[in-house]
Chain A
Amino acid sequence: NAGVTQTPKFQVLKTGQSMTLQCAQDMNHEYMSWYRQDPGMGLRLIHYSVGAGITDQGEVPNGYNVSRSTTEDFPLRLLSAAPSQTSVYFCASIGRRFGQSNTGELFFGEGSRLTVL
């Protein structure tokens, strides 16, 4: 199993550009989430999903959009990039498989480092 895979690892955008950060997991996990990590702020939840077709907002959702059309994929879209969105983005899936008890253990991707100029 590859676990949680994020692409790209690095990206530089200009203000106003849009892009999609990709996240895929091959563990058949039901729950997936996106976090951003900033110095002095720790990790903060952007959006999360409890299954295909179901998403909800986290603590800092503004400027981001998500969808969950399959169990495996949970892309994060930046609609119009701003310098305040310069951050490291982490995708995570939670250790629950369909029909099984939820261990609650989170598995993280390696991160996507985004710079908005």
Chain B
Amino acid sequence: KQEVTQIPAALSVPEGENLVLNCSFTDSAIYNLQWFRQDPGKGLTSLLLIQSSQREQTSGRLNASLDKSSGRSTLYIAASQPGDSATYLCAVTSGGSSNTGKLIFGQGTTLQVKP
């Protein structure tokens, strides 16, 4: 059974710092991996999607990497800002699910960026 783990559960950093959020998964046979952002009381917003054949994706100050063989993904946030404060979730689609929207989520890392 696929399990997704995110460490740490919470992180507090000063503004301007570069930081890395970690995601690990137990079954390397994934279809894709996504990183989401969730603000308090809100829904999830997709940040980056990495297909199983890709190694990384970039969007602005965000860079996500994928290493299927080790079952790991990292989300790198450059020059963090207070507006980056949110909960970040990673989720995988297992290989047998194609792209039907059957995601397995980690429990998230809650990030606080202090001015």
- Identify which of B51, B105, B107 contacts A40 (C-beta below 8 A): B107
- Identify which of A4, A32, A105 contacts B49 (C-beta below 8 A): A105
Q: Smallest distance from the beta carbon of A104 to chain B beta carbons, Å?
A: 5
Interface residues of A in 22-42 (CB under 8 A from B): 31-33, 35, 40-42
Contact (A45, B102) CB under 8 Å given A104-B49, A104-B93, A107-B46: yes
- Identify which of B89, B98, B101 contacts A32 (C-beta below 8 A): B101
Contact (A104, B43) CB under 8 Å given A42-B105, A42-B107, A42-B108: no
With CB as the reference atom, state the residue of chain B lying closest to A94.
B101
Chain A window 101-116, contacts with chain B (Cβ cutoff 8 Å), 1 for yes, 0 for no: 0111111111100000
Interface centre among B41, B46, B89, B91 (most CB of A within 10 A): B46
B103 within 8 A of A: yes
Q: Give the number of chain A interface residues (Cβ < 8 Å).
A: 29
Residues of A within 8 A of B103 (CB): 43, 45, 106
Q: What is the interface of chain B mostly: helix, strand, loop, or mixed?
A: strand
Contact (A108, B45) CB under 8 Å given A40-B107, A42-B108: yes
B46 touches A106 (CB 8 A): yes
Q: Smallest distance from the beta carbon of B54 to chain A beta carbons, Å?
A: 11
B65 within 8 A of A: no
Chain B residues proximal to chain A, CB less than 8 Å? 31-32, 34, 36, 41-46, 49, 51, 89, 91, 93, 98-103, 105-108
Jot down 14 A-B pairs with beta carbons below 8 A, ordered by A: A32-B101, A33-B101, A42-B105, A42-B108, A45-B102, A90-B44, A94-B101, A102-B99, A103-B49, A104-B31, A105-B34, A105-B46, A111-B41, A111-B42
Chain A residues proximal to chain B, CB less than 8 Å? 4, 31-33, 35, 40-45, 48, 50, 58, 90, 92-94, 96, 102-111
Question: 3 closest A-B pairs (Cβ-Cβ)?
Answer: A108-B43, A102-B99, A94-B101
